[in-house]
């Protein structure tokens, strides 16, 4: 029997070495792999010891009938310092008593050396039945990886599970994962711009990277981002954005776990300050180091959330209606634009003209509202880069102001359009002060979101009063007041501007008033409208 104390010391020494490598700047991917390899090595060592202590005939039977399998994140070979180890004892034949006894003996030793192990003992038929009945179980099982034991047994399981479970009900599975993810958003944050996000479960966190891999497994039988890129299912731009974000999030999560000594995934204010200093984000004249650190976090998670949503959408089957729509001729709402497959896009013949003109790009969003139709996802991907390369002067035009105020007036889904405009950096071209507010932290107990997200949500709350609400009475009264306001465009503009003075020297309300006057002048409002 392996002595527990020396083995615990061996594990502690190895974990200390991994932590030192992390603190010296080793890449997050290498730290994650090193932690997984350490767990694999200890499991293999204890497996061989436990097997060697059995009688010869039992040992030979079990070595051919049992396989140790890593599941979930451990199956992907991705571990953080205090991740749980999800382990399956796959066995063949009956009775199962010997497999149960062996698994119990091995688990006790793993617990004795300090491993947090979730476990199951299953046959191939058990796995297939469970995978068909339970999508979370299917997700864990399809990321399985052989560790030690009977390799032929694992191969048989893998082939049958892929054929009988993974390749079936693909669209139902994807819808189930989307629903699960939205439930996590409701609990951990529906916005990327949470002030204290959960780096695994909040929007744009590691879980959104996982859902890309799950969708790729069931739709394309591809398990890694590298293979998705090599086989052209991910563009080079998206691939590099995802790998950079993953590296950043892995490093942050490793540091959170190492420092807390537990599975800590919440990026609290205190941890943000500590990590910003540790990762070398120094203060600048008008921006604290912690603000620079969090802006990088928001940049990465925004990219992950966006790419994940687009990728999963592409993995879903095209509906009958969409296929029929694709056979219909494109409709031209006006010169330079097309409606194809129920999506608004740019006419290829006018692409250069539209993409180089601030007025024409604004027209795209205006038409989306007027025609009540979504802008094509692939076009939105390009707009961010294109608009970033344009000047604010290219968006200073009376016609742009007129279209912007039209959008703000409603009664269409104002916040949905503003969110898109913010996503592609158009909003800050029209209201320059909004660029300063992007990802700007608010270090106080009264706010839950960054300044830009806070102002957008203020507009969303106001817009919600447009809906008929009979109870409670207080809300009904507010709804009536909102509906009686004639210039809702000015109300929504005021809400967009109300906190943009934050993060600057001086009284933010006075600075905000100056910014509001500048924005009003830029939008061509008269003195009365500006004073309102």
Q: Where are the domains of the chain?
A: 4-168, 172-315, 318-398+423-430, 432-532
- Which pLDDT does position 322 carry in this prediction? 54
- Which pLDDT does position 437 carry in this prediction? 81
Above 90 in pLDDT, residue 62?
no
Above 90 in pLDDT, residue 240?
yes
Which of 114-123, 281-290, 501-510 is predicted with the least confidence, judged by mean pLDDT? 501-510
Coil, strand or helix at 440: coil
Above 50 in pLDDT, residue 413?
yes
Under 8 Å between Cβ of 32 and 79: yes
**Mean of per-residue pLDDT scores for the chain:** 88
Under 8 Å between Cβ of 99 and 121: yes
Q: Which helix (H) or strand (E) holds 523?
A: none
- Which pLDDT does position 337 carry in this prediction? 94
- Which pLDDT does position 152 carry in this prediction? 95
Closest-CA residue to 235 (of 173, 296, 143, 306): 306
Q: Which residue has the higher pLDDT, 342 or 474?
A: 342
Residues 6+ apart with CB under 8 A from 365: 375, 403, 407, 417, 420, 421, 426
Q: Which helix (H) or strand (E) holds 354?
A: helix 351-355
pLDDT band at 300 (very low <50, low <70, confident <90, very high): very high
Omega before 95 within 30 of 0, i.e. cis = yes
* C-alpha span between 361 and 364 (Å, rounded): 5
pLDDT band at 320 (very low <50, low <70, confident <90, very high): very low
- Which pLDDT does position 331 carry in this prediction? 86
Above 60 in pLDDT, residue 326?
no
State if pTM tops 0.75.
yes
Give the highest mean pLDDT range of 21-25, 321-325, 383-387: 21-25
Coil, strand or helix at 449: strand
The predicted-structure confidence for 427-480, as pLDDT tens digits, reads as follows 999 999 888 888 777 665 556 788 888 889 988 888 888 765 555 655 677 778
* C-alpha span between 124 and 90 (Å, rounded): 7
Under 8 Å between Cβ of 369 and 407: yes
Coil, strand or helix at 526: coil
Q: Which residue has the higher pLDDT, 341 or 108?
A: 108
Options 3.30.460.10, 3.30.70.860, 3.20.20.70, 1.20.1250.20; CATH for 4-168 is 3.30.460.10
Above 50 in pLDDT, residue 223?
yes
Which of 84-98, 189-203, 248-262 is predicted with the least confidence, judged by mean pLDDT? 84-98
Which numeric CATH code is attached to 172-315?
Answer: 1.20.120.330
* C-alpha span between 92 and 160 (Å, rounded): 14
Above 80 in pLDDT, residue 16?
yes
DSSP letter string over 72-128? HHHHHT---TTPPEEEEEEE-SS--HHHHHHHHHHHHHHHHTT--EEEEEE-HHHHH
* C-alpha span between 289 and 278 (Å, rounded): 10
- Which pLDDT does position 445 carry in this prediction? 57
The predicted-structure confidence for 134-189, as pLDDT tens digits, reads as follows 999 999 999 999 999 999 999 999 999 999 999 888 999 999 999 999 999 999 98
* C-alpha span between 478 and 475 (Å, rounded): 5
Q: Which residue has the higher pLDDT, 64 or 90?
A: 90
Segment 405-426 shows an average pLDDT of 90
Residues 6+ apart with CB under 8 A from 508: 499, 501, 502
Under 8 Å between Cβ of 31 and 250: yes
- Which pLDDT does position 388 carry in this prediction? 87
Q: Which residue has the higher pLDDT, 251 or 97?
A: 251
Which of 37-46, 129-138, 312-321 is predicted with the least confidence, judged by mean pLDDT? 312-321
Cα distance from N-terminal residue to C-terminal residue, the chain: 81
- Which pLDDT does position 443 carry in this prediction? 60
């Amino acid at each position: 029997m392996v002595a527990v104390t020396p083995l615990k010391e061996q594990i502690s020494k190895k974990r200390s070495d991994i932590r030192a490598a992390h603190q010296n700047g080793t890449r997050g991917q290498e730290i994650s792999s090193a932690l997984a390899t350490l767990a694999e090595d200890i499991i293999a060592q204890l497996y061989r010891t436990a097997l060697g202590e059995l009688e010869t005939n039992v040992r030979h039977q079990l070595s051919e009938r049992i396989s140790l399998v890593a599941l979930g994140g451990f199956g992907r070979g991705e571990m953080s310092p205090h991740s749980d180890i999800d382990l399956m004892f796959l066995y063949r034949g009956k009775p199962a008593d010997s497999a149960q006894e062996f698994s119990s003996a091995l688990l006790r030793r793993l617990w004795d050396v300090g491993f947090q192990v979730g476990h199951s003992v299953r046959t191939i038929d058990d796995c297939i039945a469970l995978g068909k009945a339970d999508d979370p179980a299917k997700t864990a099982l399809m990321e399985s990886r052989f560790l030690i034991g009977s390799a032929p047994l694992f191969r048989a399981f893998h082939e049958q599970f892929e054929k009988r479970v993974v390749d079936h009900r693909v669209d139902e599975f994807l819808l189930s994962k989307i629903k699960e993810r939205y439930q996590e958003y409701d609990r951990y944050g529906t916005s990327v711009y949470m002030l204290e996000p959960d780096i695994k479960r909040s929007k744009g966190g590691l879980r959104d990277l996982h859902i890309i891999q799950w969708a790729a497994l069931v739709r394309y039988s591809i398990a890694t981002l590298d293979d998705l890129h090599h086989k052209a299912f991910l563009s080079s731009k998206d691939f590099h954005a995802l790998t950079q974000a993953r590296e950043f999030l892995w490093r942050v999560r490793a540091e959170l776990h190492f420092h807390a000594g537990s599975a800590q995934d919440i990026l609290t204010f205190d941890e943000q300050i500590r990590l910003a200093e540790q990762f070398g984000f120094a203060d600048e004249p008008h921006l604290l180091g912690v603000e620079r650190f969090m802006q990088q976090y928001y940049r990465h998670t925004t990219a992950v959330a966006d790419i994940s949503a687009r990728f999963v959408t592409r993995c879903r089957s095209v509906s009958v209606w969409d296929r029929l729509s694709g056979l219909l001729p494109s409709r031209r709402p006006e010169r330079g634009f097309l409606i194809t497959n129920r999506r608004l896009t740019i006419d290829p013949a006018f692409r250069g003209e539209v993409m180089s003109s601030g007025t024409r790009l604004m027209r795209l969003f205006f038409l989306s509202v007027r025609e009540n139709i979504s802008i094509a996802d692939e076009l939105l991907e390009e707009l961010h880069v294109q608009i970033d390369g344009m000047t604010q002067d290219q968006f200073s035009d009376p016609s742009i102001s007129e279209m912007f105020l039209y959008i703000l007036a409603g009664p269409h889904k104002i916040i949905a359009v503003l969110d898109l405009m913010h996503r592609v950096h158009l909003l800050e071209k029209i209201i320059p002060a909004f660029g300063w507010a992007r990802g700007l932290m608010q270090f106080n107990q009264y706010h839950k979101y960054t300044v830009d997200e806070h102002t957008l949500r203020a507009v969303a709350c106001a817009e919600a009063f447009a809906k008929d609400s009979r109870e409670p009475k207080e809300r009904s009264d507010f709804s009536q007041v909102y509906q009686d306001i004639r210039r809702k465009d000015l109300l929504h503009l005021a809400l967009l501007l109300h906190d943009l003075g934050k993060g600057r020297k001086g009284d933010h309300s006075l600075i905000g008033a100056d910014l509001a006057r500048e924005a009003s002048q830029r939008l061509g409002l008269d003195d009365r409208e500006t004073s309102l």
